[in-house]
Structure 1
């Protein structure tokens, strides 16, 4: 790669912000996904390279016992054509860690499925869902979180919830739980229209509460921006042996 100067490390931005708030989090597990580099025209005669390196990361409070971090990549992925004869493979993966809390062990997993616009992309999502199921369905207790890019009414979501339980649905407190997506400029009115950010689980787990965060006007930054193009979803879970 030619583009080697890091302009923004979003993991460092996040962990530095947590530290500034007096919160002590550590990287418990991570996986590198896509690492793509493309030329950008500065003028008609000048070009420079822009590079994106994507990760999925699990952060844990430093007082939580974690062990055996692991990661994997999806076997079925999408190759995007960027020009005639040229394409890039956008790798996506998942990462997990064993957690012990109140003498109960469970697996915590994070992932980010391929985006979907139906057709072939939905087939890719279903393959990624099936891979997760094949690898983790035997776990006695598991919590899986992430931007799954699929929600109620979609076939990949139906595939997932045939094995895993959706915490938002199990909570059943009403509301659609929409999390996606705000306009890219992050300055316009709220425009959430789908629920693709999910908390899924396996095993003897009870959902005590669930909520969407970052979707109210009061959540905007002092500069008037939404915190993200997604809202977040949080849940309180009681994990039993």
Structure 2
């Protein structure tokens, strides 16, 4: 069917965008019976829209941090840190990076926002650890993932990486409860990352930025001192092919705060994104937000979990991702060979989101959830990936 160019005059196009935005916000498609209303497919073929594919992907740091963060004394902190390091080893990121690279290579997003891109380092037991100083790299998730993605040629490039939570502690990896001293120091540096595809249309980026949230959770591992869990955001202004410029923002909101408090820490962090000084609120460009928000309203797990997502809705942010199947989360200690292959019933809620502040200018053409099956026996992450093909309207 030819595109009805008479409908794409600026005023008519804006009206069509309003209708389609309201429909796609609910996951619906454009009506097919109205001869004066362009369909989503017709908009996608018109010169007024450019398709841009974006992805949010939590790659999983490799272990549950609970045994360390909740340790009431130094002895249990040292043992808990050892448990964490052992679990990271068992959840072999080399295998998981293969699965993630396979998933990304087949999906081919133009821009990717990654979370929990961990860098694990060690130092000899007895080395100074406050502030963190270990330098021996045990696993660099970013370097390993890029190596897999670019194994056959340069496919993705690093646009920006932002260091977040950075913590080092003595660890007992022997598993002997009678041993209260360490055999190594373990250091975790969490990072959020933006990648851009290099083997498709040209992608221009400018104004690389990053920031730390003002509102942070404070923990006291081992009963030692209060330690802020550093989290934040990173952003770039991007232009994909002939698309208009837009702001691309990646974030990972707090995981461990008390959701029963109002407002929760993650809700305060969400508000920081959209306030006038934040990466979305300060932009004159339409914005696309991707990330692990640890929050959702329709699939709220505990009362109060939805606060951060609701804060974004209240700020006139609109969802541009699919909700089925659910993307979160597998509850497996080991994501490898002995893990359940196809049972995704554990994924019963949504925390990974793609949103926009410009519903008339950024529509969702299609979307999918990725990483729903293991690759060569390994899950890429406890999360699934969320991908949306967006229509950026001129």
The answer, yes or no, to whether TM exceeds 0.5 is yes
1:220 aligns with 2:360: no
Which has the higher Rg, Structure 1 or Structure 2?
2
Distance 1:78 1:61 in 2: 34
Residue of structure 1 in register with 2:297 after alignment: 152
Q: Structure 1 residues 197 and 4 mapped into 2: Cα distance closer, same or farther (>3 Å)?
A: same
Structure 2: gaps of 5 or more residues: 1-131, 174-178, 299-305
| Cα offset, 1:138, TM superposition | 5.1
Residue 78 (str. 1) matches residue 217 (str. 2): yes
**Residues 110-189 of structure 1: matches in 2 within 5 Å?**
110-116=250-256, 118-120=259-261, 123-134=264-275, 135=278, 136-137=280-281, 139=283, 140-153=285-298, 154-162=306-314, 163-168=316-321, 176-184=324-332, 185-186=334-335, 187-188=339-340, 189=343
Q: RMSD value over aligned CA atoms?
A: 1.9
Q: Where do residues 24-103 of structure 1 align in structure 2 (5 Å cutoff)? A: 24-42=155-173, 43-62=179-198, 63-101=202-240, 102-103=242-243
Task: Tell me which of 113, 128, 137 is aligned to 1:6.
Answer: 137
Aligned length: 232
More displaced 10-residue stretch of structure 1: 176-185 or 106-115: 176-185
- With the length of structure 1 as denominator, give the TM-score of the two structures: 0.89
Distance 2:181 2:273 in 1: 46
Q: Which has the higher strand share?
A: 1
Q: Name the CA shift for 1:119/1:181 in 2 (closer, same or farther; >3 Å).
A: same
Which structure has more helix as a fraction of its residues? 2
Comparing 52-61 with 129-138, which one deviates more in the overlay? 129-138
Q: Look up the SS of the partner of 1:6 in the other structure.
A: strand
Larger RCO: 1 or 2 (CA < 8 Å, sep 6+):
2
Secondary structure, aligned partner of 1:30: strand
Q: Is the 8 A contact 2:321 2:387 kept in 1?
A: no
Equivalent position to 1:209, from 348, 351, 366: 366
Please state how far the C-alpha of 1:86 moved relative to its aligned partner. Answer: 2.7
Q: Is the 8 A contact 1:205 1:240 kept in 2?
A: yes
Q: TM-score of the superposition, structure 2-length normalised?
A: 0.56
* Residues 121 and 34 of structure 1, relative CA distance in 2, 3 Å threshold: farther
